[in-house]
Amino acid sequence: MLRRLSVAVTVAVMVATTGWLVAHGQTGEYKIGVLEPLTGPLAGEGKRHLEGYEIVRDMINARGGVMGKKLVFAVADAPDPTAAASEANRLITRESVKIITGTFSSRLCGAASEAAARHNVIYWETSCVDPRFNKRGLKNVFRTEIDATGFGWYNIEFIVKHLAPRFNLKPNQLKIAFISEDSSYGQGVTESALARAKELGLQVVAPVEYYNFQTINDMTPIIVKLKQLNPDVVHHIAYTNDAPLFWRQAREQNFLFKALVHAGATGYGGSDFGKATGKDGNGVFALLEPGPGFRLEALRPEGQKIEKEFRDAVQKRTGSYPFGAHQLAGGGLWLLKVVLDRAQSDDLDKFRSAVMSLDLPVGSMINGWGVKFSEDGQNSNERVQHYMLQWQNGQLVTVWPEEFTTNRAKWIPLGPWDARK
Amino acid sequence: MDPARPLGRPQIDVVAQLGVSTILLGGIYALIAVGLTLIFGIMRVVNFAHGEFLMLGMYLAFWAYTLLALDPWFVLFVSIPLFFGLGLVTYVLIMRGIIHASHNVQIFTTVGLSIALQNLALVLWSGDFHTVRPWHAGAPIRVAGTAFNLSQVVAFFIAIALTVALFAFMRWTHTGRVMRATAQDRDAAILMGIDTDRVYRITFALGIAAVGAAGVLVSPLYAIYPQAGLQFVLLSYVVVVLGGLGDMVGALIGSLIVAAVEVAGSYWFGTAWKEIFYFLLFIAVLVFRPAGLFGQRGAETLGA
């Protein structure tokens, strides 16, 4: 009797456990490689990017993980391209990962994905914007974020469609100057914006002023030169400390232009710019993922739900609205889950056909993104909706396209430095 | 200035502004280089961790400003004894052991120290960019068509004062003479009864105190982050080589030359050119005047 009872109890426990496991869908772990610059000059953004991954990883695991397993990370530090390549190799050979994601920076994604390609491992890039990334004929690389060409395109759209009418200028009357740090990111965005500006007949006042963000100590010579050329718009792609340096010195020199436009989560698009300048940073534009003021109602129902959950999770962990690095990582990792749900495999061919078969409209996902990949592994400009944000009293808020936001762009044109309150 | 345009008021203003920028930027470089040239000149050690002590000085100013609301100008007085002490400790723990070793060992050790300090800062204070914004950092001064920043002007004058003080110390005090004697011939100095270990200890501590003070002074001007030192350190080697190893006044003049090359190069040719210009100058000096523009001939091999 006792024996029978114990068998029955054991069976019952087993059934219950299996039931629980089936309900939660998690039997074992599924490990992916995560490459981030966690030391070196990009460490600040790299850590924030990793934080975005971790938040979405927990959201994914709360829903049953990927392919029935709990999603876990093998994290590696990639401060420079050499480390990115060697760490990618290590993740593949030692940690046996079949998917690598990362890397925040355009300096890193090329080298890391090249290494992954040699092992036929899936490389899922969520934030680098180097246009060359998926122009190399590699079948294993995918990118969820738009490339720099897209950034430049969006910036000129904003300048021509939104700023020019508010300055009472026709596009061909608008004078624009380009300044940029000289990494592939800065060059990619700047060259595409420049080409688009010329196409639309804007007056480009000087050749692009490129500089190295790690060694620039004085922007005054650039400012003095541009001041004489009197541009309406300054298109400045900055990386880190070069943004507050330019802004402080432009103010010192009383360089009066009508607007400054940047793109990306670095430089003017990073939280550090707000901390460095406070209200003095008022008026600067940065093309980014959505910020405060973003209307959830403008998204599709499924997009609203996941976006809200993501924002709340970031708020809970960091005490603030998601930053660009969180959003790129979060949006990208969520999309990876959607692909794995469909492919149910990390075999490159099956994974690839799942990616190509996805067709989701704008507003379906985190950041209001949609999905439609091209054959070279790039999610399309039109689906990866981008937004213009503006620094308003120490906060970056969404101001354009206007149907997506409750905020409106201010200080157009910028006016005197001391009058931007 | 556009050469095609006639020389008018706006052009004069531009040249004046470029001149002012050169002098102020040169002041910052001198402030950083003076400690390096001291250590380089007396100890014949290339301190690759110099930039990291600058970074630590910037963080000191940041924390004092954030936690205690202390102005960097006040923190300056605290930083000098503090970094003198830090220099002593670093000397005793690390530098003393390698002072007689080959240059390779010294380079590896100080590069190692540099990376260790960067990562220590990263672990302790994260990779975020910090800024110190005392009232004087946001106070532009406008004089006759030129504009500059009060923090920068003060940093410049302190750089001059520090250079003059170190120059006077080396020239006219007993300790200074002993230090110069040790630099010229270590063995002879030992035979004359000079405690060379003490000389090196004081030299290193003085050099670190100078760069710590520099860090505090530049904190209102540049972002503070673990790699902040890298932005300036390569440049201060150029300055030191240009000025002549161990030559304080040479370092000041070298700084102004580097700043002039940088500002003028950026304005007339584009910022991308500035490093090409000053590293060409660096190579030219090494090839044609290895003792530096102002150094004594043969000084570079002394004490080797």
Domain with CATH 3.40.50.2300 in chain A: 29-143+299-368, 149-289+387-419
For the structural domain made of A29-143+299-368, what CATH number should be given?
3.40.50.2300
CB contact under 8 A, A224 and B14: yes
Average pLDDT over residues A132-146: 92
Quote the mean pLDDT of chain A.
Answer: 90
User: Which residue in A39, A226, A282, A417 has the most chain B C-beta atoms within 10 A of its own C-beta, making it the best mutation to test that interface?
Assistant: A39
The residue assigned the tokens 């390698």 is B98
Contacts of A217 in chain B (CB under 8 A): 25, 28, 222, 231-232, 235, 262
- Could you read off the pLDDT of A376-410 as tens digits, one per residue? 999 988 899 899 999 999 889 999 988 889 999 99
- Could you read off the pLDDT of A187-242 as tens digits, one per residue? 989 999 999 999 999 999 999 999 988 888 899 999 999 999 999 999 999 988 89
**Which amino acid would we find at residue B109?**
T
Asked if B10 contacts A228 with a C-beta cutoff of 8 angstroms, the reply is yes
Tokens for A145? 């974020």
Rounded distance, CA B292 to CA B246, Å?
Answer: 10
A–B interface: beta-carbon pairs under 8 A: 119
- Could you read off the pLDDT of A7-33 as tens digits, one per residue? 655 555 555 555 444 444 456 999 999
Q: What is the nearest CA distance from A278 to chain B, expressed in angstroms?
A: 10
Contacts of A229 in chain B (CB under 8 A): none
Closest CA to A366 of A340, A333, A406, A390: A333
Contacts of A248 in chain B (CB under 8 A): 137-138, 149
Q: What is the nearest CA distance from A265 to chain B, expressed in angstroms?
A: 14
Q: Is A154 exposed, middle or buried (0-12, 13-18, 19+ CB in 10 A)?
A: buried
Asked if the model's pLDDT at residue A89 lies above 80, the reply is yes
The confidence score (pLDDT) of residue B7 equals: 58
SS3 state at B44: coil
- Binned at pLDDT 50, 70 and 90, residue B120 comes out as very high
The confidence score (pLDDT) of residue B300 equals: 52
Asked if B34 contacts B210 with a C-beta cutoff of 8 angstroms, the reply is yes
Asked if B21 contacts A220 with a C-beta cutoff of 8 angstroms, the reply is yes
**CATH fold of A149-289+387-419:** Rossmann fold (3.40.50)
On whether the B9-301 domain is CATH 3.90.550, my answer is: no
The confidence score (pLDDT) of residue A374 equals: 94
Angle between helices B248-268 and A220-229 (to 10 degrees): 30
Q: Where are the alpha helices (DSSP H) in A25-118?
A: 43-62, 81-93, 109-118
The confidence score (pLDDT) of residue A246 equals: 95
What ipTM is given for this predicted complex? 0.85
Contacts of A220 in chain B (CB under 8 A): 17-18, 21, 263
Asked if the model's pLDDT at residue B301 lies above 80, the reply is no
- Could you read off the pLDDT of B122-145 as tens digits, one per residue? 889 887 888 888 888 877 888 877
Contacts of B19 in chain A (CB under 8 A): none
The confidence score (pLDDT) of residue A215 equals: 84
The confidence score (pLDDT) of residue A393 equals: 92
pTM equals: 0.80
Asked if A45 contacts A267 with a C-beta cutoff of 8 angstroms, the reply is no
Asked if the model's pLDDT at residue A339 lies above 90, the reply is yes
Asked if A189 contacts A179 with a C-beta cutoff of 8 angstroms, the reply is no
- Within 10 A of A363 (CB to CB), how many other CB atoms are there? 21
